[in-house]
Amino acid sequence: MRKLGWQAQLVASFALVLSGWLLFQLLYVVPYVRDQAIETKEAHQEEIVRSIARELDVDLTSFESEITRLVQLPEFRNMDIASQRSTMAAQVALEGLGTSIAVMDAEGWFVSGTMEPFSVYTTRSYADSAFFSVPFEQGETYWATPRFYSEPEEIVGVSISVPIWKSDAGERVGVLIAGMRLNELVQKVADYPLEERTEILVMDGEGTVVAHSGIDLFALEAGPLSLDLGGDLLVQAIMAGGVGGSLEHDHDGTSCFGTYAVLESNGWAVVVHTPVDAILASTHALSMRLTTLNVGLFVVALAASLAVGWQIAAGRKRAEDRLRQRLRYEQALARCSETLLAGASGDEAVHEALNHLLAASRVSRAYVFENFEDPSDGLCSRQLFEVCAPGISP
C-alpha cells in the first residue's frame, strides 16, 4: 500500500505542476507568444538540435568506445600481428562496428588490417598523415574528414584513429584506425520529423555537409559530400569555432533563422533552420496550436507519469523477487551443507540434501551421477541418487 500511495502522490504532484503550467500558458504566455514568433522558433529549434546531437553523440561515442576497447587487448598492445588479424576480422563481422579496421606501427606503416586487397596500403609510410600523427604524437583520438566510396556499394564513411599504448604508462607503439559507415546517420537525419520548410544539416568542422534532410545527397552529380555552403553565415560561424547558438542568415537567397550545436564526440555540428517568412506566417494560428499542444502534453505527461510509476513498481518487484530467489538458494545450500555434515548415514544424508536443492530450485527432479571408466565402453556415467517432487514418478 505504501508503494501505491507513493505512486499516487507522484501522479498527483505531477498533475498539479502540469495544471499550473497549463494555466500559466493560457493566461500569460499565449498573449506574449503572438508577438514573439522568432523566440519561439529559436527555442523549438534548439530542442531539435539538442535531441539530434544527443542521438548522434551516442552513436559516435559508442563506436569510439568500442575502438578504444580494442586497443586495450594484448594483441594490440604487444603488436602481435597474427593475433590482430583474427581479432579484427571477428570485430568487423559484428553488426554496427564499422567497415574496416587496420593497425599502423610506430613508423606509420600498415601492418595488419581487414581491407581488401590489403597490400595496396603497405607500399609507403603514412607517418606524415594526420590520421597517424595526431593519435601517435599527441595521444589523442582523431576523426578524419568523411569520404564517399562508390564501390562495391555507395557508402559515406569516416575513419577514427586511436593510439595504441604498450602499457598504461608506457610508450605508444602504433595507431589503430577504423572506418565507420555513415549511411544510417544520413538516413536518420533525412527521416527526422520536421515542420514544413524546416531543414536539418550535419556537417564536419571543415564545413563538409554529411547529412541533409531536404536534399538527397547521393543524387548530387558530384557525390554526396559535394554540397558547398561556405557562403552561409551560419556555416562560417561553425567553421570559425563556434560551439552553438542561433542567428538570422541568408540561405540560398532566402532569409532563414537557424540554430546549431556542436557534437561533444568529434566536433561536428547539427544545424536546423527555417525560412523567416514561414515562421511569421504561422503566428496567427500559433495561440490555438500552443493551447492544443499544451493540453496534449498534459495528457501525455500524465500518462507517462503513470507508466513510469508502474515501471518503477514492477522493477522493484523484480528486484525483490531476485533477492528472494537468491536467499532461497543460499538457504538451500546452507541446509545441504548442514545435512551432509550432520553425521547421518551416507545415502540418507544425500537424499535429504538433494531434497533441499529440489525445493529451492523448484524443479521436478534432482540427480547425482558418477562418472567411471568402463573397460569396453570407456568413460560412462551412472545414476547414484534421485529425488522427485511430489506427484512426480521416479
Coil, strand, or helix at residue 150? coil
* DSSP state letter for 196: T
The answer, yes or no, to whether residue 216 has pLDDT greater than 80, is yes
pTM beyond cutoff 0.85: no
CA geometry: angle 83, 84, 87, nearest 5 deg:
90
What is the average pLDDT across 202-214?
87
Q: How confident is the model at residue 288 (pLDDT cuts 50, 70, 90)?
A: low
CA 213 to centroid of chain Cα atoms = 22
User: At the fourth CATH level, which superfamily is domain 71-181?
Assistant: PAS domain (3.30.450.20)
The residue assigned the cell 527432479 is 365
Question: 45 Cβ partners below 8 Å, 6+ apart?
Answer: 198, 246, 257, 258, 259, 272, 273, 274
Q: Which residue in this structure is represented by grid cell 498533475?
A: 15
User: What is the predicted pLDDT for the residue at 1?
Assistant: 43
What letter would DSSP give residue 26? Answer: I
SS3 249: strand
Which residues lie across from 115 on neighbouring strands? none
Reduced to 3 states (helix: H, G, I; strand: E, B; else coil), residue 213 is coil
Query: Distance between CA atoms of 202 and 197, rounded to whole angstroms?
Result: 17
The CA–CA distances, whole Å, from 354 to 349, 358, 389, 392 equal: 9, 6, 11, 15
- pLDDT, average across residues 60-73: 89
The 10s digit of each residue's pLDDT in 117-137 is: 888 999 999 999 999 999 999
Residue 7 pLDDT = 58
If pLDDT is split at 50, 70 and 90, which confidence band does 173 have?
very high
Distance CA 140, CA 319 (A): 41
Q: Answer whether residue 35 shows pLDDT above 70.
A: no
The mean of the pLDDT values for the chain is 81
Position 347 scores a pLDDT of 75
* 307 C-beta neighbours (distance < 10 Å), count: 10
In the chain, what are the domain boundaries? 71-181, 322-388
